[in-house]
Structure 1
């Protein structure tokens, strides 16, 4: 064993410079964060020293790894016998709570060994959970602000999948309802999109949004029909394959019985290595979570309400949801023209960069509505008053 006391990239450069190495065997598996886009033989990434990455266990599951280690009596880190299932640094590694022995009184045998974890997809539950947050400043009203409230704001993206929406055949009511629900828990919706019933289209949109937002919610296209491509699109966005899930198939069997034979197994395929099934007694099928992407199976408003309430309960219990002050909305109505209101509104955006200030009309003949959205009622009232002071008395009337 050679020990190189350098950072990973520098150490790799030194190793390859000193030795005529053309290929390196790695222990990467398909569910690992670094496995995105890799195959059994993959050249090193751009900007890194050139060599061939060889991934002999890329397709191995968590269960495959432990079957090999135990059958061949391969020595392994003793932490795995104490309930650790995914070992990183000392700062983010904890025993997996799913292996806790509730009946144990001794601290040493409080956790069962890693090879007894029944669901290998939850291997990385052995990492300390942290609330996701935005590290960069948030842009509001087109302006970048260093306001503390904006920096701590959580953002979400909403994606609807459906050619029917794009053709105007059906109206997407779920998107607006979901935005309101997110605002009620203090989350800002940074983006809402509608994509085609096409795996590549779904994958491209999910890939864009999952790295920009704390959470992505996607719905539509979940089921046995040829147009139901949402789950496959999510898998492609993460660079993982679809694989049969026995637990999910069991739920489907209870739900649909033998009515769907030809495509039942395909419906039970989920993104491998990144999927968590979240169970709730009120839901006939578990919620599907792929890292920071939540796949909703609701097809109407009533189902969305029930699914959302269950999701909030589950996220709270898992420590993955930050509920902050809800957004407050104040609206003013005016008969002023857009031209008359434009410059004063631009000044308001500079004076109150921590608020979302906008204007719209229900139709061309309707009054202009000025909306103020934020989390500080005092700031919203001050902004509304400041705008009214820029015009003659009675120019604005308050709606709510």
Structure 2
């Protein structure tokens, strides 16, 4: 099967892992439900296009088992005659409609069109045919993904069926890596700078992909797969005025600007040990690109403090920038705080773990793996090459030191990205601080730290 062959021949370890996990979910669904009891919700977008070809591969691998493979079945490599739901909308891009119908014809999808809302359409479908499970191209980060697992029963008040989400943990990068590796056809809008496609009234090309043509003064756009930060996938979703508001065709509300909250994490800033220069630099940079900073805050190295601040900013719909508290040290709690604010677990990220292995060598396995734990669903990592070498060699001894002196606040940081290490001790009992400093000196060689602060 050409999809499975392309993935097996790829050198992308992360993509192989995502593919294998998705295929497992699909094969599991085919084992649990009869083929006529499953359906596929297709909308012509990139995510459902990926899911279509995963279903083709999963269907082929499922039928490849001797119990299912019948002689003379030569079409399973190209076809997947699964019942397919498509909700037709007068607000859809013509290119999406065309791509959907052409794709259905190419792969023998049993396309069923609905011209009503999603819930009513499902009620009509399930009333007419015994559908027990529906494959969906939902990814973490989608508005409707909150609380879903790879197998999730439908929500209360909806028709009863099992939602099957094979690509729930896939990132924007994973989606495009699959499409480009397998060389599958996708909707032409993605070559015109669209990165997330909704209706014709709320979708424009992503400005981050814009390129100016001096000869024609016309703005052009690079393809969607060149977007470097997948977290900005929905930057092309813009609010538009209604016909009633504008008196003509809908137009983009050009006055809309992004508002930002900036959160710094670090006891050393609150103690006055370090001057926060990054915050002012970041605010100036954001202002220079047209973003409005509405809120800044500094919080303690404490999971609950981080979670509370992120929770508050999340409800304000601001874009949140956070710095500090990221690394293998006992005081690096930012990632855990973000996970708590979003109610998700920390899970290993293959891409980040591979990068950390390159930085730190296999000698620091325990700390490296701990650093690679990211909030589940936070699947995009940017500019790995600009990360400072982690302080893994100091993490374990400092953590033990904190256990020995629970009455002291012990922090380790650098004043700049590649600057020397500084250890900071804060406590009420000066004798205890002196004992902690003495213990520190026994754990490390002379010169490992440029400075030891006591306060």
Identify, as 1 or 2, the structure richer in helix: 2
Q: Which has the higher contact order (CA 8 A, sep 6+)?
A: 1
Q: TM-score range by the shorter chain?
A: 0.3 to 0.5
Q: TM-score, normalised by structure 2?
A: 0.41
